[in-house]
Amino acid sequence: MSHRCCAPVVAGIALACLVTMAAAQNPTVIATSTVQATVAAPSQTRFLLPVPASVQWGEGRLRLDSTFTVAVRGHSDARLSGAVWRMLQRLEKRLGVSLTRSPEGAAPFALSTDFASATLVVEAQGPGQTVQTETEDESYTLDVTSARAVLRAPTVVGVIRGLETFLQLVEGDRSGFSVPAVTIQDRPRFPWRGILIDVSRHFEPVAVIERNLDAMAAVKLNVLHWHLSDDQGFRVESRRFPKLQEQASDGLFYTQAEIRAVVAYARDRGIRVVPEFDVPGHSTSWLVAYPEYASAPGPFALEREFGVFDPTFDPTNERVYRFLDRFVGEIAALFPDPYWHVGGDENSGVEWSANPRIQAFKRARGFATNEALQTYFNQRLLPILAKHGKRMVGWDEILEPGLPTSSVIQSWRGRATLDSAAHRGYTAILSSGWYLDHQRTAEYHYAVDPLPATSTLTPEEAARILGGEACMWAEHVGPETIDSRIWPRAAAIAERLWSPREVTDVADLYRRLAVVSARLEETGVQHASHTDRMLRRLAGSADIAPLAEFLRYAQPAYFGERSQLQRTTQLNPLTHLVDAARPDPFTRWRIGALVDSLLADPRHAAGRGELTAIFDAWGRLLPQLQAAADSSPLAGEAFPAADVLAALGAAGVDALTFLGDGAVPPDGWLARITPTLDRADRPLGLLRLPFGSALRRLIVAAGQPH
Ligand code: ACM
C-alpha cells in the first residue's frame, strides 16, 4: 500500500430526506432525553450547515438593522463577550451598517443591559470546562420571534455554536435583512469533530491556522489535530532540545508564544488543539537533530520527498525514553488538551530489522514481530504521557495486542479498524474516507459515517466512537492553497459529525454548500478567491478569463495520480494550474443534476438551454487557452483537459440534439465518442474533468434507440 493512498470506496449514498432524530449517539455528551426532530423538508434547512438536531420554523421574521443590540445575562466572561463581538463584526459587514459601539471604547461593541429591547439575548448558565474536553456540553437553544432572538446554553461553548447558527439564519431581500422565526434545539451527534492540519510537509504560518480555526468554528468543528512533526520538518520550538527547530525546520517553526496564542485562539472558538508528534516512524526530522536516538547510524537529512521512510527511533535505547519524557514534559505545558497524539503510523520496520541489537532485544523479550516491538515502545510511552497528564491517541497501527484500552485509536486504513477498536474496548475516531488531500468530492466524504445505520456495534461499543477528523495532509498544499483543499468540503464532514444520522440529502447539501462556501470567506479563509489570485500570477496578467472559466470545469487529479505524475517534493513551487484548481467544482454537481433531469424527460426543455450553453462554452475555450499560453507557458497545462473538454462539448451538443429531436444518431457515432469519454475518466495532465460519468450517461442515452 502506498503512502496515504488507500481511499476506501464509499458505498451508495442515501438520499433520504430530513429527519427524525434518534437519541444522541454518545450519551456522555448530553444527558438530556431524546430531542425529536421536526424539520419537514430539505428546502427548510435554509442555509443551516450543519443541520441542527431540531428545527421548528415559526411565523414572521426578526428584522435586522442598525438598531441591532445584544444583551448578555446569566454567566458572562471574556470568552463569551469575545464571541459576541466577533459575531457583531461579521453581522455589521453583512448588513452594511454600523452597530452600536461601546461608549468607553474599551470594547468594540456595546452589550445592552436592556433585556426587554435587545434584539438578541444571550444567556449562558456557566463557563464550560476549564480545559475543554470531548465531554464538553455544546448544546444550545435558539428561539427567534419577530420581536427578538434568545440564545440559551449551559456553557459558553454552546453559545459559540448558537451564534454561528444565528449568523447562518441571516437572509436578505429587497426590504432588508432578517432572520426567520424559528425554534432550534441543537447539540452534536459526536463529541470529537476535527480537522488534521499537517504543517510538516509544508509549513503553515499562524495566520493560516487561525483563519482555518475561524472557519472550523463557523461549521461547529471542535478539534484541531496539529500534525507538528514528520520526516520533512519539525515545527515547534523546544527550549530543552533546540536542535529540533534549529536543524530540522528550515527556520519554519512555531515559537512557544505562537503555540500558546493559537491554543488560546482556538479555545476562544470552542476548539481543542491536539498536538501530534509522530513516533517511532515518520521521525526523520527528530533524528536529524538527535541522531543518537535512531535505530541506524546517522547522520540524517531532512526528507524532501514524500512517502514512507526508514529513520526510526530505537525502542531498545533507554535514553530514548528519557529524551521523550523530557520533551513531553516541556511541550505538554503548551497544550492543555488531555490528549497527545503519538502518530505510530507506517513504521517501515526496515531499520529495526537491519539492526542485530534490536533484533536480539526482540528475541530476548519474546516479541515475534516488529509490531509487537512497537507495542512495547507504546507501552513505554504511556506512563510518560500519563505522568504529564496526557492520554495517548495514535493511528490504527498502534492497535496491537497488549495496548491498554486507555488509548484512542484513529482509524485511517479502513473503517474496519474503527469498529474493531470499539469492539475491543478502545475509544476511537474515524478518518478513513475523510482524507481531503485525495481530492474527492464533498458527496463522497458526506457518505462516510462513523456509525452508519448498518453498524453492528452494541450500544456500549457505539458509545466509544467519539467522532472523526478530516485530514489535510500537506504533500501538495501550501499556505496559498490549503484553504481551497479544506473548504468547503470539510463542511460536509462537519455536518456528518454534528447532525442527525438521517441528514443525508446530497442535493440539499450542495444547495447549502454553495452559499456556506461563499460565507466562509467572511472568516478569512481564501478557498474561493485563491484561484483568481494564482491565475493572475500564472498568466502574468489580469486577463485570466479563459483560465478561470476553464477551472470552473476542471479539478486536481487525485492524490495518488498527482504523486505519480508530478513526483513533487517539498521544494516544488505549488503554483501550477493544478494548484489554482479546486476539488469538486460546483459545476460537477450542477451538470450531473441537469443531465439527470434531462434524461428523466429528454424531449422536455428542462436543463437543455443551460447544458447547451455549457457545451458551447467548452468549444470556445480551447482557442482562448491557446492564446493565453502564448504568453504563459504554465497556461499550457490546460491543454490535455481542454482538448477533451472541447470534444465532449461537441458530443454533448450532438447528444442534446438527438435526444431533443428523437433522432437516431448516425452509425458509429457512439463508438467514435467512446474513447473521448474514456479519456475524460482519466487524469489529463495534472487535472481531471469531474463530470465524466454525467456526460457518459447523456451520450450513451443519446446513442441508444429512443
Ligand atoms: C497516515 O496517513 N499515515 C496516518
* pLDDT tens for each residue of 377-405: 999 999 999 999 999 999 999 999 989 99
How far, in Å, CA of 107 to CA of 418, rounded? 46
Other beta carbons less than 10 A from residue 175's beta carbon: 8
Q: Please report, for the domain that includes residue 97, its CATH number.
A: 3.30.379.10
Cell of 202: 509544508
Higher pLDDT, 39 or 115: 115
Would you say residue 634 has pLDDT above 50?
A: yes
* pLDDT tens for each residue of 477-515: 999 999 999 999 999 999 999 999 999 999 999 999 999
Q: Are residues 495 and 558 in the same domain?
A: no
Which residue's CA is the closest to the ligand 1 atom numbered 2?
Answer: 4
Residue 116 sits in which domain range?
Answer: 54-186
Angle of the 692-703 helix axis to the 669-680 helix axis, nearest 10: 170
Q: What is the mean pLDDT of residues 439-468?
A: 98
Asked if 195 and 216 touch (Cβ cutoff 8 Å), the reply is: yes
96 alpha carbon – ligand 1 mean position (Å)? 45
Nearest CA to 233 among 258, 203, 200?
A: 200
Q: Are residues 590 and 457 in the same domain?
A: no
Helix (H) or strand (E) holding 265: helix 256-268
Q: What is the mean pLDDT of residues 328-348?
A: 98
Which residue's CA is the closest to the ligand 1 atom numbered 1?
Answer: 4
Q: Are residues 196 and 252 in the same domain?
A: yes
Q: Give me the chain's average pLDDT, please.
A: 93
Inside any domain, residue 196: yes
Is 346 a residue of the active site?
Answer: yes
Q: Please report, for the domain that includes residue 360, its CATH number.
A: 3.20.20.80
How far, in Å, CA of 335 to CA of 331, rounded? 7
Give the predicted TM-score (pTM) of the model. 0.94
**pLDDT for res 690:** 96
604 pLDDT band, cuts 50/70/90, is: low
Q: Are residues 208 and 342 in the same domain?
A: yes
Q: Are residues 178 and 198 in the same domain?
A: no
Asked if 657 and 706 touch (Cβ cutoff 8 Å), the reply is: no
Nearest CA to 198 among 188, 183, 212?
A: 212
Q: Are residues 302 and 253 in the same domain?
A: yes
* pLDDT tens for each residue of 290-335: 999 999 999 999 999 999 999 999 999 999 999 999 999 999 999 9
**pLDDT for res 35:** 32
**pLDDT for res 107:** 85
Q: Are residues 557 and 683 in the same domain?
A: yes
| Pocket (CB within 6 angstroms of ligand 1) | 4, 345-346, 395, 412
Residue 142 three-state SS: strand
Q: Are residues 242 and 341 in the same domain?
A: yes
Catalytic residue, from 346, 443, 521, 561: name it: 346
Choosing from 231, 395, 399, 413 the residue with most ligand 1 atoms within 8 A of its CB, the one to mutate for a pocket test is: 395
Inside any domain, residue 624: yes
The CA-atom distances, in angstroms, between 633 and each of 400, 458, 536, 641 are 51, 59, 13, 16
Nearest CA to 139 among 126, 130, 148, 149?
A: 126
Inside any domain, residue 417: yes
Last residue of a domain, one of 137, 155, 186: 186
Contacts of 644 (CB under 8 A, 6+ apart): 676, 679, 680, 684, 689
474 alpha carbon – ligand 1 mean position (Å)? 11
Q: Are residues 132 and 210 in the same domain?
A: no
* pLDDT tens for each residue of 22-52: 323 332 222 222 233 343 344 689 999 999 9
Inside any domain, residue 25: no
Looking at the 3D structure of the chain, how many domains does it have? 3
Q: Are residues 134 and 212 in the same domain?
A: no
Choosing from 412, 417, 418, 429 the residue with most ligand 1 atoms within 8 A of its CB, the one to mutate for a pocket test is: 412
Would you say residue 641 has pLDDT above 70?
A: yes
Residue 685 CA, distance from chain mean position: 26
Check whether the bond before 280 is cis (ω within 30° of 0).
Answer: yes
Choosing from 277, 345, 410 the residue with most ligand 1 atoms within 8 A of its CB, the one to mutate for a pocket test is: 345
Q: Are residues 75 and 145 in the same domain?
A: yes
User: In the chain, what is the greatest distance between 2 CA atoms, to the nearest angstrom?
Assistant: 81
H-state helical runs in 370-488: 370-387, 416-423, 442-446, 459-462, 482-486
Q: Are residues 251 and 196 in the same domain?
A: yes
* pLDDT tens for each residue of 47-99: 999 999 999 999 999 999 999 999 999 999 999 999 999 999 999 999 999 99
